[in-house]
């Protein structure tokens, strides 16, 4: 366990508890479901909640704290789901669990016990509830590096039914998901210096230290990056004068112990722009604040690999590629009009230096697509905070886009289903012929334009079109899915969401 995780003690201070009156806890958090969901009130507190509802109908609308002698600590926190319509999903459970735990800590509790009920209406409600409660305990890396957090000492989860293997598995999976998401939040949420490319490499090495199923390969040699990742090297030029800001490509590989059981190979390429000033096309009018979150794609990739290293899925082989760089501005900045030659040999005319994310990932994507044919049943992803347009279209949800090959298996549709089970919003967006065509170069000798500056619409789909073309994925029978998480990654003041780590783990059966 690394130094970053020690503070959470995610193993030895989380318990499954069958007794709501155990004096080791100082509060009980109860999630109140509306009558129409048919969730029974637990025996010990049912009559108390009924009475409380008669005193204050508001218990169905906001979190309340009651003195209740029947439960640990004499303190009952009631966190209501509120009204559930057909338009609501399981995220109401996550929110109620989070709010309940936050309220318990605010009330002075240090060791809350959370009642986790199964809900027919939401099949994965127990998993989502436990994950929501754990998420509420997160402290940002830069905060806990200064002071070890003391917001809680232990946390318990109570299931009404007899202590069952099934519930143990759910809690174990939730803990693994939380440990994975802590890595994603730490990388994505820390400031651009704490998580400059050099520091991300150190953090990754620490986080995976001692994991026998993980190998890490760091490419940081400037000449090698210029040769093998020429488009990334262009983005990197202004930043390359500062050693800690220089580009790095980090390959993290997960292999199960018995390779003969592998049935699927996943390759995930993440955008890790540690700060996006826009470059020479600099972001103006205060639009630069928040751009430290432009590394959330790489953060999600690292989180997914962590989940694999903990849960050890025997059927998967996974390669994660973190494309780390900083889109700085300076005398050596790349500028619009430059003609770059990509690893694939295709030329790319630069049109706007703020569309750096697609260039940062392009050569790594091509490299992976080129070698994927040697792998068993490969599927390639790119995960990136790529376009403001994705947020404009889908709010805080992921835009998922398949190439022709992945679409033939309805892959994004399946990911959307997984998301709906684990409270992560995924929207299926279709890449059309025009999204490929719009990226074709306009001048003699230009194979591609980085971005069509005349495009008035479909910006997130045409970005996927660029990646499909530069990766050579438009005519190969190779499954590829691009996830634009610009809206889903989470904006300050909120911590990064780590979405879609859990959906990917659900879909690819990293947890069962
Ligand atoms: Zn940008």
Confidence of residue 150 (pLDDT cuts 50, 70, 90): confident
**How far is the centre of ligand 1, averaged over its atoms, from the C-alpha of 200 (Å)?**
20
- Are 224 and 129 within one domain? no
- Distance between CA atoms of residues 258 and 260, nearest Å: 5
Flag whether 180 is in a domain: no
290 vs 493: CA distance, rounded Å: 10
Whole-number pLDDT of residue 151: 85
- C-alpha span between 357 and 271 (Å, rounded): 6
Q: What is the number of other CB atoms lying within 10 angstroms of the CB of residue 18? A: 13
| Residue 319 sits in the same domain as residue 207 | yes
In this structure, what CATH number is given to the domain that contains residue 247?
A: 3.40.630.10
> Is 95 marked active-site?
no
Measure 282 CA to ligand 1 centroid, in angstroms: 9
Confidence tier at 101 by pLDDT (50, 70, 90): very high
> Which of 110, 131, 163 corresponds to the end of one domain?
163
Residues 6 or more apart whose CB falls under 8 angstroms from that of 391 comprise 486, 487
| 61 within some domain | yes
In a domain, 440, yes or no: yes
Handedness of CA 498, 155, 19, 172 (dihedral sign): positive
158 and 277 share one domain: no
Regarding whether 193 and 49 lie in a shared domain, the answer is: no
Question: Is residue 477's pLDDT more than 80?
Answer: yes
Percent of the chain with pLDDT over 90: 91
The helix (H) or strand (E) run that includes residue 67 is: strand 64-67
* Residue 456 annotated as catalytic: no
- Which residues are near ligand 1, the ion (C-beta closer than 5 Å)? 276, 354, 356
- What whole-number distance in Å separates Cα of residue 135 and Cα of residue 349? 43
Same domain, 446 and 345: yes
Q: CATH number, domain at 15? A: 3.40.220.10
Query: What range defines the domain where residue 448 resides?
Result: 187-507
Q: Looking at 148, 163, 178, which one is the last position of a domain?
A: 163
3-state helix vs strand vs coil in the chain, percent to 5: 40, 20, 40
Please give the distance, rounded to the nearest whole angstrom, from the Cα atom of residue 354 to the centre of ligand 1. Answer: 4
> E strands along 68-147, which residues?
75-80, 112-116
Q: What's the distance, Cα to Cα, between the start and end of the chain in Å?
A: 23
Domain-located, residue 74:
yes
Residue among 179, 317, 346, 358 flagged as catalytic? 358
- Is the domain of 241 the same as that of 308? yes
pTM of the model: 0.96
Residue 335 CA, ligand 1 centroid: distance in Å: 13
Contacting residues for 399 by C-beta, under 8 A, at least 6 apart = 390, 393, 427, 429, 460, 483, 484, 487
| Distances in whole angstroms, Cα of residue 167 to Cα of each of 22, 72, 127, 170 | 19, 21, 9, 5
Q: Do 42 and 142 share a structural domain?
A: yes
Mean pLDDT for the chain overall:
95
- Please count the structural domains in the chain: 2
264 and 147 inside one domain:
no
Our CA angle for 485, 481, 320, nearest 5°, is 75
For 235-265, write each residue's pLDDT tens digit.
Answer: 999 999 999 999 999 999 999 999 999 999 9
Indicate whether 179 belongs to any domain. Answer: no
Q: Are 275 and 328 in contact (CB under 8 A)?
A: yes
Q: How far is the CA of 427 from the centre of ligand 1 (A)?
A: 22
- Give the model's pLDDT for residue 390: 98
Over range 440-450, report the average pLDDT.
Answer: 97
Whether 182 maps to a domain, the answer reads: no
Q: Could you tell me the distance, in angstroms and rounded to a whole number, from the CA of residue 315 to the centre of ligand 1?
A: 36
Task: Give the pLDDT of residue 148.
Answer: 82
Nearest to 100 by CA among 130, 144, 58: 130
Nearest to 231 by CA among 327, 142, 306: 327
Asked if pLDDT for residue 9 goes beyond 60, the answer is no
Active site residue: 110, 255, 283, 312, which one? Answer: 283
* 410 plus 285 within the same structural domain: yes
Residue 331 has pLDDT above 70, yes or no: yes
């Amino acid at each position: 366990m690394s130094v970053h995780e020690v503070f959470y003690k995610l193993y030895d201070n989380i318990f499954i508890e069958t007794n709501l009156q155990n004096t080791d806890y100082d509060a009980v958090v109860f999630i109140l479901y509306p009558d129409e969901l048919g969730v029974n009130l637990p025996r010990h507190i049912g009559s108390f909640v009924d009475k409380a509802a008669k005193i204050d109908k508001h218990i169905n609308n906001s979190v309340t704290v009651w003195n209740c002698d029947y439960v640990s600590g004499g303190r009952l926190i009631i966190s209501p789901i509120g009204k559930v319509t057909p338009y609501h999903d399981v995220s109401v459970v996550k929110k109620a669990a989070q709010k309940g735990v936050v309220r318990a800590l605010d009330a002075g509790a240090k060791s809350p016990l959370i009642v986790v009920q199964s809900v027919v209406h939401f099949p994965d409600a127990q998993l989502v509830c436990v994950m929501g409660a754990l998420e509420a305990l997160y402290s940002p890396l830069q905060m806990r590096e200064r002071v070890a957090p003391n917001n809680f000492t232990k946390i318990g989860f109570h299931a009404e039914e007899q202590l069952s293997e099934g519930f143990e598995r759910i809690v174990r999976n939730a803990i693994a998901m939380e440990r994975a998401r802590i890595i994603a939040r730490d990388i994505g949420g820390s400031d651009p210096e704490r998580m400059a490319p050099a520091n991300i490499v150190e953090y990754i090495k620490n986080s995976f230290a001692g994991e026998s199923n993980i190998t890490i390969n760091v490419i940081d040699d400037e000449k090698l990056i210029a040769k093998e990742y020429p488009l990334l090297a262009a983005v990197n030029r202004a930043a390359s004068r500062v050693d800690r800001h220089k580009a790095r490509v980090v390959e993290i590989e997960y292999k199960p112990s018995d390779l003969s059981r592998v049935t699927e190979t996943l390759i995930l390429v993440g955008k890790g722009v540690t700060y996006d000033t826009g470059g020479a096309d600099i972001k103006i009018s205060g639009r630069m604040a928040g751009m430290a979150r432009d590394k959330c794609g790489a953060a999600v990739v690292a989180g997914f690999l962590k989940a694999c290293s903990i849960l050890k899925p025997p059927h998967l082989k996974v390669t994660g590629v973190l494309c780390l760089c900083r889109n700085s501005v300076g005398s050596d900045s790349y500028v619009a009009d430059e003609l770059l030659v990509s690893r694939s040999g295709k030329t790319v005319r630069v049109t706007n230096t703020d569309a750096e994310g697609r260039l940062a990932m392009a050569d790594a994507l091509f490299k992976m697509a080129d070698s994927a044919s040697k792998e068993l049943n490969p599927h390639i992803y790119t995960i990136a905070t790529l376009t403001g347009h994705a947020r404009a279209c889908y709010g805080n949800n992921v835009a998922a886009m398949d190439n022709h090959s992945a679409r033939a298996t309805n892959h994004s549709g399946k990911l959307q289903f997984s998301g709906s089970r684990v409270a992560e919003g995924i929207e299926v967006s279709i890449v059309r012929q025009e999204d490929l065509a719009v990226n074709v170069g306009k001048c003699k000798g230009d194979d591609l334009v980085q971005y069509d500056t005349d495009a008035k619409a479909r910006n997130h789909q045409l970005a996927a079109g660029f990646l499909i073309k530069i990766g050579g994925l438009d005519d190969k029978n190779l499954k590829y899915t691009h996830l634009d998480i610009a809206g889903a990654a989470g904006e300050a003041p909120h911590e990064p969401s780590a979405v879609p780590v859990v959906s990917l783990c659900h879909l690819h059966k990293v947890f069962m």
